[in-house]
A and B are shown apart, each in its own frame.
Chain A
Amino acid sequence: MSSRLFTLTVGLITLTALSSIQVVAGQSRPPRPVVVKIELTGRCELVRNITVVFEGDEEHTITRIRRDSDGYLWTDWLDSRNGTRFPDEPICASLRLDGTRTYCRLSQPQKNDRDEDVAFFSFDCDERQAWQVTIDAHPSIDVSYVRELRRHLEKTDHSDPLDCPCSEKAHFEKRRTIPDLVFPSEKVLLQLGAWQPDSEAPGLLIFSEDPKVPGLFAFSSDTKTRGQLVAGPGIRKPAKNVDKGLSITLERREIIRPLFVQRSKSGDFSSPAIDIDEEALSKLTYVDVTAVVK
């Protein structure tokens, strides 16, 4: 009798706990507007076309930005994050600066004249040349990408607690330009056939620094052409020179091979992993990838 009572009690507690979890998980709070103030220092402060990427969402970027008389940039963002939000949780953001980009930074809470919460960002302009990489899939298929950039001055005495690692993602169909990529600092995974970007999913590297790891592009190590963008390791097709850049056209099989060569680096020759790539890309005939500087 007592064991039945015990089972019943445990069952009831479990049910109650499960329902509470469901209620909490099911709660969706409306997005909360956040006023954003940006300070941009360095030689980029005169850039006109500025895009802000909040919380790694490069699919929904903010381009409507106004500049005040003190040179600060102002915009609004809808904080729809689950769990803690601004100002209790800082926002991580970075800027695209029409030919260059910034590292990712955390917001600091401030108040404006009307005593509203303001997310304040201070960015230093990174003047390194950035690449505009256009992906054009024929015919149209789902394409995702994940770009990752480590913290600025990570593991040095000059590291700033307001720096945050960038993991910026987007999904598109057919064609899109990935703006302001800084090679070799940024790791960009192209996930052809994927409807959702996933930083832990395998993908084709757009740029590879390591000659043993396949990637679409690399910097030449040849003495005469050192530093020029060339077709990457494992890409056996020559790239074409285009105005201010390079273009490469890859057929389906030329995409699948670098993927399984990448996987083989972990000692794995998985046949089903190849089959999944073949099936996911079965509709793709070829993809054009063009990298240019502005």
Chain B
Amino acid sequence: MRALMFGMIILCICATAAAQQRPIFDPDDFVNPHQHSGPVFITRLVVGGASGFIDDFRPFHQNTGFLQIGNSLYWGHVQIDYKHSEELAKDTPVSACLCNGKPVYFPTPPSPDSVPAAPPPGRKETVQFAWYHAATGGPEQPRVMLRYRLTLSWQPIDTDVTSIATGETSHLSGRERSIGLDADTYFRIGGYDVRGSLIYARSVRNGTTDDRSQNELAYMSRFPGRALGPILVRATLTLAGVTGRGASGLNVVNPAFEAFWHDPKTRMNLHLVWSPLAARSGAEGWQNFHQIAFFVDYAPYVKLFRRTGQ
């Protein structure tokens, strides 16, 4: 009962707050609960950069560096993560003038029926709660482990606005909050395994010069990886309907191609991801954006707790 109440409180906090779904630099962290007999705690460091960074289907129009520190606890069929990330890029100065009593900001934010801009770079805190469930893959098939995850994130957005008329600077303390739910899916078509995730997320940005909100419903299909020499490659395809851009229905097509290399000596994992995005808005129709990211992830601390009797 207390756990349920705690869960409800967390949900309420999040509903008023909010998360973007996985940024490009967030490495896969699915662990089959049968892989560890006791709890596991892992600290992970991710460092890298992206050209044409895209944040939650919103282009940033700049190159970005990023850093993420994550702590994950895997305990039985439960996974809990806390991730702190920093996106590093040039700040764009914002100025404003009062027109008809309303502030007009420069650079002008995209119109409500355009693809919104990503929030300015900064820190973001993310908490995730996940639960693993084994689904039957059919009488001839082994059971398939699926993960259901709640993601909550919070990003403060501080903006200094310079008045064009007076030269005075005012400060806006805004934030973006999001909540997301994703559920792994598995089915078979024509003898082939089809794996993916169904994702729902809501993001709300306020207290900024470009207040926006969006709901997104997405399906990400994960195609089987393939080994090419020492490198693994794989593709994913995300199809989504995102609100708040003046175009209803399917308005995001986002494939991604990833090359992955694990260095056994240093235990580092290197990722190179190319993720083109086609997004449709009411104002501009379909637009294409390209994001290429290179990053390294490394776990400086891994602790496998052993059960009594081992």
Q: Is the CB of B142 within 8 A of A200?
A: yes
Please tell me if the beta carbons of B222 and A271 are within 8 angstroms of each other in the complex: no
A252: which B residues are within 8 A, CB to CB? 264
Interface residues on B, range: 35 or more
**Residues of the A chain whose Cβ atoms lie less than 8 Å from the Cβ of B222:** 266-268
- In the complex, what distance in Å separates the CA atom of A278 from the CA atom of B304? 11
Q: Which residues of A contact B32 (CB under 8 A)?
A: 200-202, 273
Q: Complex formed: what's the CA distance from A273 to B267 in Å?
A: 12
Q: Does B195 contact A (CB under 8 A)?
A: yes
User: Which residues of B are found within 8 Å of A265, using beta-carbon distances?
Assistant: 224-225
Say yes or no: A253-B264 contact (C-beta < 8 A), given A266-B222, A275-B302, A276-B35.
yes
Q: Is the CB of A266 within 8 A of B195?
A: yes
- B31 engages A257 (CB within 8 Å): no
Q: In whole angstroms, how far apart are the Cα atoms of A198 and B299 in the complex? A: 26
Contact with B along A249-278 (1 / 0, CB 8 A): 000110011001100111111111111111
Q: Is the CB–CB distance between A267 and B223 below 8 Å?
A: yes
B275 is an interface residue with CB less than 8 A from chain A? no
B29 to chain A, nearest CB (A): 5
CA distance A201 to B36 in the complex (A): 8
Contacts A261-B227, A271-B27, A272-B31 given; does A196 touch B302 at CB 8 Å: no
The segment from B37-45, B150-158, B286-294 that touches chain A is B37-45
> Do B28 and A268 touch across chains, with their CB atoms under 8 A apart?
yes
- Residue B226, interface by CB 8 Å: yes
Nearest Cβ distance between residue B222 and chain A, in whole angstroms? 3
A200 touches B27 (CB 8 A): no
Q: Is B133 positioned at the interface, with any CB of A under 8 Å from its CB?
A: no
State whether B264 touches A257 (Cβ < 8 A).
yes
Q: Give bound CA distance, A36 to B309, whole Å.
A: 33
Flag if B35 contacts A275 (CB, 8 Å): no
A194 at interface (Cβ–Cβ under 8 A)? Answer: yes
> What residues of A have a CB within 8 angstroms of the CB of B42 in the complex?
272, 275-276
Tell whether, in the assembled complex, residue A271 and residue B142 are in contact, meaning their CB atoms are under 8 Å apart. no
Could you tell me if A264 and B304 are in contact, using CB atoms closer than 8 angstroms? no
A280 within 8 A of B: yes
A232 lies within 8 A of chain B by Cβ: no
Q: Which residues of B contact A194 (CB under 8 A)?
A: 37
B143 cross-chain contacts in A, Cβ below 8 A: 200
Q: Is the interface of B mostly helix, strand, loop or mixed?
A: strand
Q: Could you tell me the distance between the alpha carbons of A214 and B67 in the complex, rounded to whole angstroms? A: 34
Q: Are A264 and B225 in contact (CB under 8 A)?
A: yes
The residue from A200, A256, A260 contacting B134, defined by CB atoms under 8 A apart: A200
Asked whether, in the complex, the Cβ of B225 is within 8 Å of the Cβ of A267, the reply is yes
Nearest CB of chain A from residue B302's CB, rounded to whole Å: 5
The one of A264, A269, A276 in contact with B302, judged by C-beta atoms closer than 8 angstroms, is A276
- Pair B236/A267 contact, Cβ less than 8 Å: yes
A265 to B195, CA, bound (A): 10
Q: Is B258's CB within 8 Å of the partner chain A?
A: yes
- A87 and B40 CA atoms in complex are apart in Å by 42
In the complex, whether A279 has a CB less than 8 A from a CB of chain B is yes
Residues on the B chain within 8 Å of A275, using CB: 42, 267, 299, 302
Are A269 and B35 also in contact (CB < 8 A) when A234-B227, A278-B267 are? no
Given the complex, which residues of B lie within 8 Å of A260, measured CB to CB? 232, 262
Contact B262 A257 (CB under 8 A): yes
Task: Tell whether B243 is near chain A: CB-to-CB under 8 Å.
Answer: no
Min CB distance A81 to B, Å, is 20
Contact A273 B234 (CB under 8 A): no
B274 within 8 A of partner (CB): no
Residues from chain B with Cβ under 8 Å of A266 in the complex: 193, 195, 222, 224
Cβ of B72 < 8 Å from any Cβ of A?
yes
Bound together, the chains give a CA A201 to CA B31 distance in angstroms of 11
The residue in chain B whose Cβ has the minimal distance to the Cβ of A254 is B264
* Chain A residue at smallest Cβ distance from B197: A267
Quick check: is B34 within 8 A (CB to CB) of the other chain? yes
Query: Are the C-beta atoms of A272 and B29 separated by less than 8 Å?
Result: yes
**Neighbour of A276 across the interface among B28, B40, B232, B260, CB < 8 A:** B40
Whether the pair B310, A272 counts as a contact (CB closer than 8 A) is no
Query: Does A195 interact with chain B (Cβ within 8 Å)?
Result: yes
Q: Provide the bound-state CA to CA distance between A69 and B37, in Å.
A: 49
Min CB gap B67→A, angstroms = 16
Chain A residues whose C-beta falls within 8 Å of the C-beta of B232 in the assembled complex: 260-261, 264, 269
Shortest beta-carbon distance, A200 to chain B, in Å?
Answer: 5
Judge whether A271 and B302 touch: CB under 8 Å: no
A186-233 interface with B by 8 A CB criterion: 194-196, 198, 200-202, 212
A268 to B142, CA, bound (A): 17
Cβ contact of B234, chosen from A200, A264, A280, cutoff 8 A = A264
Q: Which residues of B contact A264 (CB under 8 A)?
A: 224-227, 232, 234, 260
Question: Which residues of A (150-183) have their CB < 8 Å from a CB of B?
Answer: none
CA–CA, A46 and B223, complex, Å: 52
Which 6 pairs from chain A and chain B are nearest by CB? Answer: A267-B222, A264-B225, A253-B264, A201-B34, A270-B28, A271-B27
Known: A200-B143, A264-B232, A276-B302. 4 other contacts (CB 8 A): A200-B145, A269-B27, A279-B304, A280-B304
